[in-house]
Amino acid sequence: MKKYSIITSLIVFILASCDLEELHIEDSGQYSKIFMQSAISGSIEKNFIIEDKWHGLSIGAGYGGVDQLDGDLSVTFEIRPDLVAEFNAANGTRHAILPEESYRFDVNTVTIPAGKSGSNSIEIEVNPFYFGGTRTFLLPVSIKEVNQDITVNPELKTTYFVISGSYGENPYEIHSQSKWSVVEVSSDVSDGAGGGLGLHAIDDNLDTYWHSNYRRDADGWRPQHPHHIVVDMDEELLLHGFRIHGRPASNHAYLFPNIVSFQTSMDGENWTDVGIFTGIVASADASATIYFEESVEARFFKLTVIRSATGGDTTAITEIKCF
């Protein structure tokens, strides 16, 4: 052991005594790159509760290379809506660009100090209240320019934020039903104090209800699903979703809509499909709130009950509210 210790000490002494040539890499600048650290992870998914509140998405820049920076380096970012189609094609998605009113990007430049490899962070602020629904959006953020002649790594130039919203509590006001009228109903029934007619689904009274006709004819037939109702709201309204109230008694739970479709129209003749909503379950107060992926302007709506809770022939709704 003593022999090896003496040899090691001798080698260290010789190396320390020599003047080693400085390490030199020809054209070392070609290995220098600017990049977004957040782009290393690929796309970044963010989900926010839909409320009127601003949230920050942090971005910054990094520097890698053989040479140290000999001066402060500024990196400027930009939003790239033109990259959305390319991203969707590559990933089999249908994301839309994040609505402009839902984000703000007041400061878009960071600085990497001389001799350092990372910049300060800045934030893009996002407000999910302006998403207009639960649809998933894309926000591509790219390096636009740098103030030195250093190459931007093309594979780490852009960060793709995949952003969606979900609801905790309903942030929207319920629209008044005072001007509403029923244009069409697939079937209804006069049912004593409870009403039973289509108009009772929009009379702002939870003690009355629309009931599809449950009475059988002489041949034992009665209307089966689907059951629908068409409503004229008498004005164009922005709709984010709707709420269904069912008959509250437990012995009426089987009537509650379980699968529904919702359509809208401006003229009552040409209809747009908003969506088919499945697996609807009544809450403790016999209601359910359904949100749209995208908000929609409409004067008319058509609600179709495709299936009720237990799959029977009939359905009943005490109120249809829109917001």
Write out the DSSP string of 249-304. Answer: SGGGGGGSEEEEEEEEESSSSSEEEEEEE------TTSEEEEEEEEEEEEEEEEEE
Residue 16 predicted with pLDDT over 60 = no
Composition of the chain by helix, strand, coil, percent to 5: 20, 40, 40
- Does the pLDDT value for residue 180 go beyond 60? yes
CB 296 within 8 A of CB 272: yes
Write out pLDDT tens, residues 90-101: 999 999 999 999
Mean pLDDT of the region 284-299: 96
Residue-level pLDDT at 65: 87
List pLDDT tens digits, range 36-54. 999 998 899 999 999 999 9
Q: What percent of the chain has pLDDT over 70?
A: 91
For the ranges 1-15, 245-259, 278-292, which has the lowest average pLDDT? 1-15
What would the mean pLDDT of 181-185 be, rounded to a whole number? Answer: 98
pLDDT of 5 higher than 90: no
Q: What is the pLDDT of residue 28?
A: 58
pLDDT tops 50 at residue 147:
yes
Q: Token match 């890499």: residue?
A: 25
pLDDT of 223 reads 97
Q: Give the per-residue pLDDT at 37.
A: 95
Residue 3 has pLDDT above 60, yes or no: no
Structural fold of domain 30-166: Immunoglobulin-like (2.60.40)
As to burial, measured by CB atoms within 10 angstroms (0-12 exposed, 13-18 middle, 19+ buried), residue 76 is middle
More confident residue, 25 or 65: 65
pLDDT at res. 249: 87
181-322: which CATH architecture?
A: Sandwich (2.60)
Quickly count: other Cβ atoms within 10 Å of residue 70's Cβ.
9
Taking the domains of the chain in order of start, what are their residue ranges? 30-166, 181-322
Tell me what pLDDT residue 267 has. Answer: 97
The DSSP secondary-structure symbol of 21 reads P
pTM of the model: 0.77
Closest CA to 197 of 314, 285, 317: 317
At residue 6 the predicted structure's pLDDT band, cuts being 50, 70 and 90, is very low
| 107 alpha carbon, distance to own chain's centre | 24
**Distance between CA 277 and CA 259 in Å, rounded?**
6
Distance CA(191)–CA(255), nearest Å, equals 15
- Counting Cβ atoms within 10 Å, is residue 288 exposed (0-12), middle (13-18) or buried (19+)? buried
Lowest mean pLDDT among 5-9, 132-136, 181-185: 5-9
Mean pLDDT across 156-160: 98
pLDDT value of position 14: 37
- Between the CA atoms of 250, 255, 260 and 263, what dihedral angle is there, to the nearest 10 degrees? -110
- With CA atoms as reference, report the closest residue to 266 among 306, 239, 305, 229: 239
pLDDT digits (tens, 9 = 90+) for 266-275: 999 999 999 9
